[in-house]
Amino acid sequence: MDRRFRFGAVGESIRSGAELADTARRAEDLGYDVLVLRDHFVGEPFGDQLAPMAALAWAAAGTSTLRLGTMVLANDYRHPVVLAKEAATLDHLSGGRFELGIGAGWLREEYEAAGMPFDRAGTRVGRLEESLRILRSLLDGQKTTFAGEHYRVDGLTVFPPPGRRPPLVVGAGSDRMLGIGGRLADTVGVLPRALPDGTISDEITERLPETIARKVDRVREAADGRDVELSLMVTPTFGPDPRRTADAVARRRGWGASAGDLVLDMPTQFVGPPEHIAEQMLARRDRYGFTYYQVPDAMVEQFAPVIPLLTG
């Protein structure tokens, strides 16, 4: 595989500017490539969050090499023209270090709390696809005219014009979303399916090798030869014995102790000491193509020993 590994820290427990600055500096010093922030304005399921675009500008000011990203913005919360302007400005202020992650939106509770209509999945996904086309055009520096079902743009350009379009990242779990990511994104974060009730599937089948392989194949089919980076958001579990650690994960997730063998082979699960986790990541790069992993900020120190094993 020619693509190198990248590692991101997900700043989901940050509640203040001081915590943000500290997490960004620690991530940079420990060898992480990217700090990403979530996009939520309700407390559940990740706790209260800072507004991602403003917070990332603050993080950029206190770092020099760390890339800054969103994982992922809900498309329905921002018009693509407004978002393109914000993305171009943040990319400019950070010296070209911004990565724009975006998804269709999935958390029904959040929409309802804000008084926003939670449209059926097909409508939300259709809006996202149109938004991505507008964002690609504007951030490529093109004068953009677009007429779709959801958005209309008439001869706009974006300022400041990016020297290079910020990478577009799409989080995707369904076949249609994976196809959109493959066609229009630079990075696709492979996720469990979002469900019609506004939650994320916790079914074990969403995490099994055959399901992940099918999702990766869908991205590659849609990419049609383009080089698309594949990403996973993971929470590794460290322990001296991979098998015993896998059994503990299976029990904790409610899958039963007998599911330990399944956990060992799940592309989204990493268990054991750092050296074993690095071996798992190498094997899954060869098998599936995953090279970009994000871990929660609460474990950036614990996971850090894995990074030089794969990037040194």
Nearest to 55 by CA among 3, 94, 28: 94
In this model, does residue 1 exceed pLDDT 60?
Answer: no
Contacts for 46 with CB less than 8 Å, ≥ 6 apart:
12, 38, 40
CA distance 230 to 285: 9
Q: What is the pLDDT of residue 15?
A: 96
CA distances, 68 to each of 8, 9, 237 (Å): 9, 10, 25
* Whole-number pLDDT of residue 159: 97
For the chain, the straight-line distance linking the first and the last C-alpha, in angstroms and rounded, comes to 16
pLDDT score recorded for residue 258:
84
Model confidence pLDDT, tens digit, residues 55-97: 999 999 999 999 999 999 999 999 999 999 999 999 999 999 9
Report which of 87, 5, 65, 73 is spatially closest to residue 37, judged by C-alpha positions.
73
Please spell the DSSP secondary structure of 160-217, one letter per residue: SPPSSPPPEEEEE-SHHHHHHHHHH-SEEEE-PPBPTTSSB---GGGGSHHHHHHHHH
Rounded Cα distance between 239 and 230, Å, is 27
The model's pTM is: 0.96
pLDDT value, residue 257 = 73
- pLDDT above 90: residue 202: no
- The 10s digit of each residue's pLDDT in 92-149 is 999 999 999 999 999 999 999 999 999 999 999 999 999 999 999 999 999 999 999 9
Confidence class for position 46, pLDDT limits 50, 70, 90: confident
- pLDDT tens digit string along 207-249? 999 999 999 999 999 999 999 999 999 999 999 999 999 999 9
The whole-number pLDDT of residue 148 equals 98
In this predicted structure, what is the pLDDT of residue 44? Answer: 81
Kindly state the average pLDDT of the residues 246-254. Answer: 93
Q: pLDDT tens digits for 147-156? A: 999 999 999 9
